């Protein structure tokens, strides 16, 4: 049996942010990852300015990522196309590469790949390969990991996406293609990501819709290129369950920490992973109460997501046309810029 102060389940941005903090504070930890690394990850792959700032603050170096910087977005609604010059560039990355670049900055021999969590008995975590004794667990295992069974009231939207080996120059956000959501075309350094989704998981023929969307944007895709994945919907009920038994914390997508307007998840994954690790360290070193510490630290994050969740209900309602037209007016154009940049 292996022993660690902290077990991190999942090697995405939230788990790696937590690992970085533990490493810098000499807390023993390991990462358990169910896949072989590096692994594919469906994601729009846009790093906003606040994500870049947080990565720099945490001393993560992403210079080895083959990134593409975007300074404008074509926003489409009805018959209008509005080109918006962003206040801050969006950096487009490949998630497979991005996650692996971060991983190599936080682990040595404490990463265990191809292991799935089977059960937790007392302070022992059991995988399909081994047993681990722990003091704390950070669940950074996404929407379909073991942690999904630990909390209730989770709701999901739906997205479909393709990574196509062509280069494009235009970044597109299109509110026409799907109700209660939008489609996107994100140019990367050596390929293009095209996708669409909504936060309500209504019945849609997603394959037909993304095929139509690709045709509109002169991109050829085949059905085998299309992958689907659930998008967690943020809620107060889920957030309040994200600390379990005062020794387990759910972060990132596992805790449904996603911006319901833009679908951004990377920033909230990084930030929640960082705050979870800091809360555990305070608990270890100063005997703080973990639950109270974490919820106090994440108050600004929670308030931000709650506001965005409320706004998304207006944006993706039967009055969506009105709100988008207002949003694309000169009066509120800076708000749109901040959302996407």
Q: Give the CATH number, domain containing residue 78.
A: 3.50.50.60
Q: Domain range holding 306?
A: 2-340
Dump pLDDT digits (tens) for 229-286: 899 989 999 999 999 999 999 999 999 999 988 888 999 999 999 999 999 999 999 9
Domain total of the chain = 1
Dihedral, 78, 79, 84, 90 alpha carbons, nearest 10: 60
Average pLDDT over residues 295-299: 97
Starting at the edge strand found earlier in the chain, the sheet holding 117-121 runs 2-3, 131-133, 124-127, 117-121
What local confidence, expressed as pLDDT, does residue 297 receive?
Answer: 97
Indicate the pLDDT class of residue 326, thresholds 50, 70 and 90.
low
Indicate the pLDDT class of residue 192, thresholds 50, 70 and 90.
very high
Average pLDDT over residues 40-44: 87
Residue 152 CB neighbours (<10 A): 8
Average pLDDT over residues 194-216: 89
Q: pTM above the 0.75 mark? A: yes
Distance from C-alpha of 231 to C-alpha of 210, rounded to nearest angstrom? 17
Phi, psi (deg, nearest 5) at residue 312: -65, -30
111, pLDDT greater than 60: yes
Structure-block tokens of residue 24: 């810098």
Average pLDDT over residues 154-183: 91
The vertex-229 CA angle with 171 and 172, nearest 5°, equals 10
Give 210's Cβ-side CA count (13 Å radius): 25
Closest-CA residue to 138 (of 257, 1, 30): 30
> Which of 25-34, 175-184, 306-315 is predicted with the least confidence, judged by mean pLDDT?
306-315
Place of tokens 């990574």: 163
331, pLDDT greater than 50: no
What local confidence, expressed as pLDDT, does residue 263 receive?
Answer: 85
Long-range residue pairs from 210-214, CB within 8 A, at least 24 positions apart, any chain: 210/160, 210/161, 210/162, 210/183, 212/177, 213/174, 213/177, 213/183, 214/162
Asked if 277 and 21 count as a contact pair (C-beta separation under 8 A), the reply is yes
Structure-block tokens of residue 284: 């270890």
Indicate the pLDDT class of residue 59, thresholds 50, 70 and 90.
very high
């Amino acid at each position: 049996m292996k022993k660690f102060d902290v077990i991190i389940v999942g090697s995405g941005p939230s788990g790696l942010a937590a690992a970085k903090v533990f490493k810098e504070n000499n807390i023993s930890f390991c990462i358990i990852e169910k896949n072989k690394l590096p692994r594919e990850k469906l994601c729009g792959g846009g790093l906003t300015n606040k994500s870049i700032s947080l990565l720099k603050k945490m001393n993560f170096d992403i210079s080895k990522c083959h990134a593409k910087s975007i300074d404008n977005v074509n926003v489409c609604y009805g018959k209008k196309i509005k080109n918006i010059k962003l206040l801050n560039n969006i950096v487009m990355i490949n998630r497979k590469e991005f996650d692996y670049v971060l991983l190599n900055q936080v682990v040595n021999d404490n990463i265990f790949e191809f292991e799935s969590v089977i059960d937790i008995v007392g302070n022992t975590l059991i995988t399909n390969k081994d047993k681990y004794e722990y003091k704390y667990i950070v669940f950074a295992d996404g929407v379909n990991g073991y942690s999904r069974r630990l909390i209730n009231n989770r709701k999901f939207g739906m997205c479909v996406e393709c990574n196509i080996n062509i280069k494009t120059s235009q970044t597109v956000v299109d509110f026409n293609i799907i109700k209660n959501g939008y489609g996107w075309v994100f140019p990367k350094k050596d390929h293009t990501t095209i996708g669409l989704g909504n936060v309500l998981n209504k019945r849609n023929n997603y394959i037909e819709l993304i095929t139509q969307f690709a045709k509109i944007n002169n991109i050829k895709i085949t059905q085998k290129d299309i992958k689907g994945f659930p998008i967690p919907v943020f809620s107060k009920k889920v957030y309040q369950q994200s600390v379990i038994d005062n020794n387990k914390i759910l972060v990132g997508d596992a805790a449904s920490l996603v911006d319901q307007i833009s679908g951004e998840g990377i920033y909230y994954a990084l930030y929640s992973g960082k705050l979870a690790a800091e809360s555990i360290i305070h608990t270890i070193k100063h005997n703080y109460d973990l639950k109270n510490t974490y919820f106090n630290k994440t108050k600004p994050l929670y308030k931000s997501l709650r506001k965005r969740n409320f706004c998304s209900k207006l944006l993706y309602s039967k009055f969506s046309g009105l709100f988008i037209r207002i949003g694309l007016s000169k009066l509120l154009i800076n708000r749109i810029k901040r959302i996407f940049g």
